[in-house]
């Protein structure tokens, strides 16, 4: 289903802003700047009608888009709208890929 919903990628103590462009029960296409590093797995916090958290795995990356697969063995958890991951705040931290 085509959407345009704000979301956050969370891994360790890092939070990155992104936008969900397409979503299904099994995964999503997200928009995130191509120079920003994404780990293989992370939690995707989607801010729609209710805040939901999806364990996600990157399956592909092309330019400013990435395709993620949701871990269907773990149901997406609904969390209260005032939830804030401990110690992270809502600031976005942009990480560039290291030069090799």
* Ranges of each domain in the chain: 2-79
Query: Domain 2-79, what architecture?
Result: Beta Barrel (2.40)
Write out pLDDT tens, residues 10-57.
999 999 999 999 999 899 999 999 999 999 999 999 987 678 899 999
Three-state DSSP string of the chain: CEEEEEEEEEECCEEEEEEEEEECCCEEEEECCCCECCCCEEEEEEECCCEEEEEEEEEEEECCEEEEEECCCCCCEEECCCCCCCCCCCCCCCCECCCC
Would you state the pLDDT for residue 74? 66
Write out pLDDT tens, residues 53-100.
999 999 999 999 999 999 877 655 545 444 444 444 434 334 444 433
């Amino acid at each position: 289903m085509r959407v345009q919903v704000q979301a956050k990628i969370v891994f360790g103590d890092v939070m990155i802003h992104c936008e969900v462009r397409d979503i299904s029960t099994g995964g999503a296409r997200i928009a995130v700047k191509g120079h920003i590093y994404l780990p293989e797995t992370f939690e995707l916090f989607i801010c729609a009608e209710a805040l939901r958290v999806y364990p996600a795995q990157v399956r592909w990356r092309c330019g400013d888009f990435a395709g993620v697969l949701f871990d269907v063995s773990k149901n997406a958890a609904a969390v209260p709208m005032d939830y804030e991951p401990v110690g992270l705040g809502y600031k976005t931290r942009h990480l560039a890929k290291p030069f090799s």
